[in-house]
Amino acid sequence: MSLTATQQQHQTELHSTLWAIANDLRGQMEANEFKNYILGLIFYRYLSEKTVATANAILSEDEMTFEEGWADPEFQADIAEELIEQIGYVIEPHHLFHTLVAAVENQTFSIEQLQAAINAVTESTLGTASEDDFNHLFDDMDLQSTKLGKDVSNRSQTIGKVIAKIDSINFNHEDTEIDVLGDAYEYLIGQFAANAGKKAGEFYTPQQVSKILAKVVTTGKTDLKNVYDPTCGSGSLLLRVAKEAKVRKFYGQEKIATTYNLARMNMLLHNVRYDQFDIRNDDTLEHPKHTGMTFEAIVANPPYSANWSADAKFLDDERYSGYGKLAPKSKADFAFIQHMIHHLDDNGTMAVVLPHGVLFRGAAEGLIRKHLIEQRNVLDAVIGLPANIFYGTSIPTAILVFKKCRENDDILFIDASNEFEKGKNQNNLTEAHVEKIIETYTNSETIEKYSYVASLAEIKENDYNLNIPRYVDTFEEEAPIDLVAVKASIAEIDAEIEVANAKLAAYFQELGL
């Protein structure tokens, strides 16, 4: 079976299982609440299986299994030490996911067993290098919530059903490269968009858009010292970059605690060691956590036109000083851009998705845009995307690509807004659409009705307005109208109407009307 066919089969099975789990929880809580339980338990199963595989490898020369080795006091401490060193945590045999599954099958499972198990994971990391990466990781999976059931027995029964169904999911990471957690998250958002999808655009980027961003920032590179996403959401963008090039360390910051937890889960789920990522939880603009650092690749899909304080103190902040103006309080788009420019390596590339307004809005944003182009010469390309490709918003968006130390001051414009596949709820970009965008960007070429390389003089002539139609003419001339033929057609229609009216009049006369 081909990779694509295997992946499609795997996704179908995953979606079927998720739907069955959702039906068990539906009516008890909102979709955006029960996804926390589903994703949390998928993650716990992964941690358990990772523990067993690692422990068995450690004990392979002794020809012992994890359970056998752990039962021997002489081996137990050494196994725990090795697990902390290699994967950053310990799950004892009686807390493993398959042990919980067995309890469910034997009808002896209690939700308190699961609570003890996840508490033990966190406790195993205390005082170690991985402590910060596991701290509060399962906080969103509230096992005491009465929405799961009125008492321990009912809650145990509900979660027991979920555990049994999650046990049937086939992970197969190596076989399909499927993003299990990300795919599960996307599916849940898609199925329950009325509840969970309203704000999804803030933290989930469609896979094809992620692919464009990742390919852009890795153009000409196969090894990156680091990658950074200041609004990392579930971490999908960071992980996507790693599919295009080797990434030595991942950095990110996320404001929403629930999504921050998901990002850390996603890193671990994709075999990113605890010491290879640094994800922080706070407001990036107001309280940046990676000060003094620069990054070789930066990718982001920030919340569109978000509010921020725009406090005057930021005029002295090295991220924003020198521009003369701050981004307006009601539109933080340029504040995010400035923040990322500040953290971009001289040899780095940054790609960010934003609403079209950043291309042409005036006042403070116009001055910042002019400064970025004229004084800093960091804008490399503007790529217009189709409308309605993000969950939660139908507005058209654009990818802005930035580089420092550019060799020229030209800017490439790509208008890909009309090239998409119509979908039921969202429009989609196909592989062919993605490849055309990347090829055009890589070659930096002008293609009639699709792309244009604009000089700084042209940008200046347009008063630094970057609205794509100013540079890429996609106008299709309509065929000339033959007015004589139109007049003759109208006369013919009028004559037919007169005949029809005469027939109607005759019918009415026969009926005595």
What is the tens place of the pLDDT at every residue in 339-371? 999 999 999 999 999 999 999 999 999 999 999
Higher per-residue confidence, 402 vs 511: 402
What is the tens place of the pLDDT at every residue in 393-443? 778 899 999 999 898 999 999 999 887 777 777 788 889 999 999 999 999
Q: Which region among 78-82, 166-170, 446-450 has the lowest average model confidence (pLDDT)? A: 166-170
SS3 of residue 498 by DSSP = helix
- Residue 205: the pLDDT is 79
Could you tell me where the beta strands, DSSP code E, fall in 187-292?
A: 223-224, 227-229, 246-247, 250-254, 277-281
Q: Are strands 397-403 and 379-384 parallel, antiparallel or unpaired?
A: antiparallel
Q: Using 50, 70 and 90 to split pLDDT, how confident is the model at 191?
A: low
Strand-pairing partners, residue 300, are: 352
Q: What is the mean pLDDT of residues 205-210?
A: 85
What is the tens place of the pLDDT at every residue in 95-132? 999 999 999 999 999 999 999 999 999 999 999 999 99
Q: Which fold has domain 200-470?
A: Rossmann fold (3.40.50)
Would the CA dihedral through 278, 132, 130, 141 be positive or negative? negative
Would the CA dihedral through 353, 356, 360, 363 be positive or negative? negative
Q: Which two tokens stand for residue 49?
A: 């299986």
SS3 of residue 72 by DSSP = coil
Q: Using 50, 70 and 90 to split pLDDT, how confident is the model at 16?
A: confident
Q: What is the mean pLDDT of residues 368-380?
A: 96
**Side-chain-side CA neighbours of residue 141 (13 Å):** 27
Average pLDDT, the chain: 88
Q: Using 50, 70 and 90 to split pLDDT, how confident is the model at 168?
A: confident
Q: Are strands 397-403 and 344-355 parallel, antiparallel or unpaired?
A: antiparallel
Q: What percent of the chain has pLDDT over 90?
A: 61
Q: Which region among 171-185, 262-276, 339-353, 415-429 has the lowest average model confidence (pLDDT)? A: 171-185
Is pLDDT at 478 greater than 70 in this prediction? no
- Residue 179: the pLDDT is 60
Domain map of the chain by residue range? 3-191, 200-470, 480-513
Is pLDDT at 480 greater than 70 in this prediction? yes
Q: Using 50, 70 and 90 to split pLDDT, how confident is the model at 334?
A: very high
Is pLDDT at 313 greater than 70 in this prediction? yes
Q: Which region among 18-32, 87-101, 222-236, 302-316 has the lowest average model confidence (pLDDT)? A: 18-32
Q: Using 50, 70 and 90 to split pLDDT, how confident is the model at 495?
A: confident
Q: Using 50, 70 and 90 to split pLDDT, how confident is the model at 2?
A: very low
Q: Which region among 39-43, 185-189, 375-379 has the lowest average model confidence (pLDDT)? A: 185-189
Q: Using 50, 70 and 90 to split pLDDT, how confident is the model at 176?
A: very low
- Residue 119: the pLDDT is 95
Q: Which two tokens stand for residue 332?
A: 């933080």
SS3 of residue 179 by DSSP = coil
Q: Answer whether 50's CB lies under 8 Å from 90's CB.
A: no
* CATH code assigned to 3-191: 1.20.1260.30
Closest by Cα among 118, 109, 104 to 37: 118
- Residue 186: the pLDDT is 64
- Residue 199: the pLDDT is 46
Burial class of residue 199 in the structure, from the number of CB atoms within 10 Å of its CB (0-12 exposed, 13-18 middle, 19+ buried): middle
Q: What percent of the chain has pLDDT over 70?
A: 89
List, as one string, the DSSP characters of 305-372.
T------GGGGGSTTTTTSSSPPPTT--HHHHHHHHHHTEEEEEEEEEEEETHHHH--HHHHHHHHII
Is pLDDT at 242 greater than 80 in this prediction? yes
SS3 of residue 57 by DSSP = helix
**Side-chain-side CA neighbours of residue 251 (13 Å):** 20
Q: Answer whether 224's CB lies under 8 Å from 218's CB.
A: yes
